[in-house]
Amino acid sequence: MDDAKPRYYIRFSLAQRYLHWALAGTFLGLAFTGLQLRFSSAAWIQSIARAVGGFGAILFFHKFCAILLTVTFLIHVADLVWRIGFKREWSLLWGPNSMVPRWKDILDFFGNLKWFFRLGPQPRFDRFAYWDKLDYWGVFWGMAIIGLSGYAMWFGSFFARLIPGSWLNIALLIHGEEAILATGWIFIVHFFNTHLRPENFPMDLTIFTGRLSEEELKRMHPEEYERLAASGGLQAIAAENNRTPS
């Protein structure tokens, strides 16, 4: 192999990249349509609504995206159940390849804060940093809060048989406030952590190409690199033909 050429390693499978596209697309669709419903009294939003066929049409697209997001989420959960329950991939539940938080994540969080103030070295991250896990669990939290409240409102007459009808008003309140929190999180925290950090600016393409270079793996995930190098596991994630991401 030509040593002058950069080596690339696989970080995300094709299926994971498709799911991320589906998650991002449906979330943006929901945020775009939902915030128009939330601020429907603003004159400029009413002009948009008139142009696209009224708020009924916006709500229709909101519900359409909600179904697609729910399917995306369920595919991910089914994959987890399959891999953990049937294929016994326990590494998904604990260890460096798991999204389950570890003590190291808490230490890394405080270590990173110290590093921000130049009071210590930057923590050495493994496959997933604590901010990756926060983003990941945020989707579960969001699906529980936004999803449940959304479906409760959508199928109000059914849910009103199970819960007091006044709770549907609370569901609307929670749905709207959580939507602002979720949209703010994605546009501020998620975008900053994944794309706008000086190391990644202007964009980290790994979630789209699935690969990262050896230099990026060493720099951003040094513990993972060293662990795989020591165990001979690097070859297993080497990108085919060592191609540059297309």
Q: Does 207 bind ligand HEM (CB under 6 A)?
A: no
Q: Does 159 bind ligand HEM (CB under 6 A)?
A: no
Q: Taking CB under 6 A as the rule, which mask of x and - marks residues 61-100 in contact with ligand HEM?
A: -x---x--xx------------------------------
Among 20, 38, 76, 102, binds ligand HEM (CB under 6 A): 38
Closest CA to 168 of 177, 176, 159: 159
Among 124, 147, 207, 223, binds ligand HEM (CB under 6 A): 147
Q: Does 179 bind ligand HEM (CB under 6 A)?
A: yes
Q: Does 58 bind ligand HEM (CB under 6 A)?
A: no
Q: What is the DSSP letter of 163?
A: S
- Binding residues vs ligand HEM (CB under 6 A): 27, 30-31, 34-35, 37-38, 59, 62, 66, 69-70, 146-147, 150-151, 153-154, 172, 175-176, 179, 182-183
